[in-house]
Chains A and B, each alone.
Chain A
Amino acid sequence: MNDQSVQVRIPTVMRPLVGGEKVIPATGATVRAIVADIGGRHAGLAERILDKDGELHRFVNVFVGDEDVRYLDGLDTPVPAGTEISIIPAVAGG
């Protein structure tokens, strides 16, 4: 059995889209597949993570385990089963 289940940490600002949950389960072998999975089950969620070109939104950071996917293979970063994925919006201002 090839179980690719992982846990995805949802930031406060996106929790209304997932029924208020802090962590949700997902399946997929890459970050792109994980986003497609959770986006398919929670309307509006994928649009908060990806831009109109389907790439990672500039103001959203995704970590696989302890690593920022921008320093790995972006949305094509492999996700080993059991890994924790963290979605972290940029903290910014002026």
Chain B
Amino acid sequence: MEIPRQICEAIVAHARFAYPEEGCGLLASGVDGTGAVSDLRMAYCLTNATRSPTRYTVAPNEHFRAMRHAEANGWELSGVFHSHTHSAPYPSPTDVAGALEPDWLYVIVGPTDVESPEIRAYWIRDGKIIEEPLTVVDGRRRPARTR
């Protein structure tokens, strides 16, 4: 799957900002009618309500507002990202247990405490982990809104 460079940069920057706690956020995609995740459009960098180096919970109010923002732009929430502060970007048993959305992309960045953390993406369905290879692309610049 292609992932815009700006989204990668936002995910890494947010992970570093949240360190030593885990950072988290949501992803939104364009809607193509098939329900499949494609055309990643936005990374919402949100609060980890758990405030932990080993756990995260996306702040519910921010989740709701991200959903509203995505819908207002004709997108839909299509994934979640979070950081692993000291471990490789591979889903932990807690990640697998918490993965309720079979059609969401689960993006992990880590470890946050090194110079260049890796970003990896997975589908987590019925407890099974399938890696989705990411190709970083230079995203399109959206025209600025004018009033």
Which of A25-33, A37-45, A60-68, A72-80 faces chain B? A60-68
Contact among A13, A66, A90 with B57 in the assembled complex (CB-CB below 8 Å): A90
How many residues of chain B get a CB closer than 8 Å to chain A's CBs?
Answer: 30
Q: Cβ of B55 and Cβ of A92 under 8 Å apart?
A: yes
Among A61, A89, A94, the one with the most B-chain Cβ atoms within 10 Å of its Cβ is A94
Q: Cβ of A66 and Cβ of B50 under 8 Å apart?
A: no
Contact among B50, B60, B94, B101 with A13 in the assembled complex (CB-CB below 8 Å): B101
Residue-wise interface mask of A (81-94) relative to B, using a CB-CB cutoff of 8 A (1 in contact, 0 not): 00000101111111
| Residues in A whose Cβ lies below 8 Å from that of B57 | 90-92
Where chain B touches its partner, the secondary structure class is: mixed
Q: Cβ of A92 and Cβ of B64 under 8 Å apart?
A: no
Q: Cβ of A93 and Cβ of B55 under 8 Å apart?
A: yes
Please give me the residue from chain B that is nearest to A71 by CB atom: B61
Among B60, B91, B94, B97, the one with the most A-chain Cβ atoms within 10 Å of its Cβ is B60
Known contacts A12-B101, A12-B103; decide if A94 and B92 are in contact (CB<8 Å).
yes
Please give me the residue from chain B that is nearest to A86 by CB atom: B64
Please give me the residue from chain A that is nearest to B97 by CB atom: A93
B63 contacts the other chain (Cβ, under 8 Å)? Answer: yes
Please give me the residue from chain A that is nearest to B101 by CB atom: A12
Nearest CB of chain B from residue A64's CB, rounded to whole Å = 11
Contact among A12, A13, A63 with B64 in the assembled complex (CB-CB below 8 Å): A63
B68 contacts the other chain (Cβ, under 8 Å)? Answer: yes
